[in-house]
Each structure stands twice: as C-alpha cells, then as structure tokens.
Amino acid sequence: MTTSPAHDALHVVDWRRRVARLYAEVRHAAVDDPVVAHALWVTGRDELFAEHPASPLDPAARAAFAGLGVAPYDPAFRFEAEVLPAPGRRLEVPTGTDGVVPFEEVGRVALGALGTLSLWALRSYGGGLFVPCKDATAGRPGGTYGGGRYVLDTTKGADLGSTGGPGARVVVDLNFAYNPSCAYDPAWACPLAPPENTLDAPVPVGELVPHAALVAS
C-alpha cells in the first residue's frame, strides 16, 4: 500500500510527538528511579518500532519484530555532568537527503573513566543538542552499531534533562543510547559519531546491534 507525501510527513510528525512524550515520561520517572524510567523507554520504543507507520523497519521486519535488544540497566553509566568548555569546532555533515548539516561544539562532558564526549548544537533550522557516542565494541559481534549510537538528539525529542546558567549540567545516561534509523533502513540519512564522540572504553549498555536485536518470533 502506498501513501501520499502528506501522509508520510504527518507520520513523521506523529512519531516525533510520541518520542517527545515518551522522553517527558522518562525524565519524570528518572527523578525517583532511573531503572523504572529505562523500562518505560524500552517499552515505548518497542511499541513505536512494532506499530508506527514511520517505523524504520520495513513491513517484513515489522511482522517478525519481537523487541529491540537492549542491555539491562546499569547505574554506573548514568552521569549528571557539568558542561565543560570546548574549542568550538564545527562539523559540516553531508547527508543524502538533508544536504550539509552544520553542528557546532558547544561543550564537553567528562564521563569518569570512560572519557569525554562533545556536545554539539545543530546550527540550522530547529536547533537542538546532539550527543552521539561510539564505543570500543562498535561494529563487533554482540556489540554496538558500527556507526555509533545517539544518546541525545533534542531536536527529535530525545532529551534526558539539563540545567542552564552557571554550572550548567546535562544528563548523559548511556543506558539510553539507541541506534540511528539508518541502522535499520539505508533510506534514512544519519549523522554519525565524530572522533570527539568516540570512547576507547566499551559501553555494554543501551541498544545493541540491529541484527542481534531483531529477534524473529
């Protein structure tokens, strides 16, 4: 069954609306119990992938879908990190569908022994904060997606919380790292993790590689 461009656009609008609502519930629940918040997130994403018209899964994969492979929650990978100064580098990311997408490095966060990640601001219409992450298991069997995962993408609703002003802090919980849509469908154009967002350490939490995550019933 084919759909019109208008229907496709409205499906994406609804997807983003539901993602934003899900993350609002996650932020609220995480104040008392991040484990409960994580369970809400897993259930919500499974429902979107299984049922929503804008799911990145094709109809065959959706029919066989039995849930995304997500590691159990580990509180050691949750950080409420101070935003540290950064050199302010810029990225010009070419994509197949959106042209060149500009990002500016607006800060860095220290994640203990794991290392540091850059915070990127989208410098085009919509703005927003973007934090991708690639770890030592990327592309390895049983590991994480080779291009890296997203932790925050506030333009699209993936927002775990932050505070502004002096001593600004941002929640970087790697248990919520998820695969970009291009991991499931090459028709999507996804900015991937740059060197500044590559960790030498393994991050064995969050969503795993797609072929391991999609389990046929």
Instruction: Spell out the domain ranges in the chain.
Output: 5-214
- The one-character DSSP state at 96 is T
Distances (CA, A) of 1 to 53, 60, 177, 188, 191: 12, 13, 33, 20, 30
| pLDDT score of 215 more than 50 | no
pLDDT higher than threshold 50 for residue 23: yes
User: Is the pLDDT reported for residue 214 higher than 80?
Assistant: no
203: number of CA atoms within 13 Å, CB side?
A: 38
What is the pLDDT at residue 210? 76
Q: Give residue 209's pLDDT.
A: 86
Give CA–CA dist 119/116, Å, rounded: 10
Which residue's structure tokens are 């959706």? 62
Strand order across the beta sheet in which 78-82 lies: 78-82, 169-173, 162-163
What is the pLDDT averaged over residues 31-35? 97
Q: What is the mean pLDDT of residues 25-47?
A: 98
How would you classify the pairing of strands 116-122 and 149-153?
unpaired
- pLDDT greater than 90 at residue 8: no
pLDDT at 212: 43
pLDDT in tens, 82-129: 999 999 999 887 765 667 889 999 999 999 999 999 999 999 888 899
The single residue listed with the structure tokens 């950064």 is 86
CA 66/CA 217 separation, integer angstroms: 6
Q: Give the per-residue pLDDT at 59.
A: 87
pLDDT in tens, 59-78: 888 888 999 999 999 999 99
| Summary mean pLDDT of the chain | 90
Q: What percentage of the chain carries pLDDT values higher than 70? A: 93
Closest-CA residue to 174 (of 141, 140, 142, 202): 202
Kindly tell me if the per-residue pLDDT of 2 is higher than 90: no
* 21, pLDDT greater than 90: yes
Can you give the pLDDT at residue 108?
97
Locate the DSSP E strands across 15-145.
78-82, 90-95, 99-110, 116-122, 129-133
178: pLDDT strictly greater than 70: yes
